[in-house]
């Protein structure tokens, strides 16, 4: 089990899914936005998970012991780690400027 893995667990509303954001092997994991905490051990780490609904991440973070989780996918979604290069960003800006300039020209010619 590692950061970025998609996991599922049983919840009161049925099976829930989410992506691991943090794993703690010793100490106590405090859950942001709540008063709950989970004691971590090397044999059963505490895991912070972002809940996903309909394949989309939510703002909700939950904590579980690793022993209660099932790995759904250990593949990291490339879209989550993708960052365009500065050259790609500059090319996109140029294309938008050209597109806007063409739009302005068309708009003026139809008046």
The CA-based angle 27-33-38, given to 5 degrees, is 25
**Gyration radius of the chain's alpha carbons:** 22
Tens digit of pLDDT for each residue in 13-24?
888 999 999 999
Among 32, 23, 74, 79, CA closest to 56: 79
- pTM of model > 0.85: no
Res 84 pLDDT > 90: no
Kindly tell me if the per-residue pLDDT of 30 is higher than 60. Answer: yes
Query: What pLDDT band is residue 44 in, cutting at 50, 70 and 90?
Result: very high
Q: How many CB atoms lie within 10 A of CB 99?
A: 10
Q: How many CB atoms lie within 10 A of CB 47?
A: 27
Distance CA(50)–CA(21), nearest Å, equals 7
The string of pLDDT tens digits covering residues 88-110 is 878 888 888 877 777 677 767 76
CB 25 within 8 A of CB 45: yes
Tokens read off for 109: 């010619």
Q: What is the mean pLDDT of residues 42-66?
A: 93
């Amino acid at each position: 089990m590692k950061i970025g893995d998609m996991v599922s667990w049983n919840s009161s509303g049925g099976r829930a899914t989410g992506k691991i954001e943090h794993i703690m092997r010793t100490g106590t994991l405090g859950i942001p936005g709540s008063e709950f905490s989970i004691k971590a051990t090397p044999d059963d780490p505490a895991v912070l998970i972002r809940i996903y609904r309909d394949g989309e991440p939510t703002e909700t973070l939950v904590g579980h012991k690793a022993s209660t989780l099932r790995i759904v996918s250990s593949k990291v979604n490339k879209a989550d780690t993708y960052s365009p290069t500065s050259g790609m960003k500059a090319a996109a800006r140029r294309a938008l400027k050209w597109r806007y300039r063409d739009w302005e020209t068309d708009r003026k010619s139809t008046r």
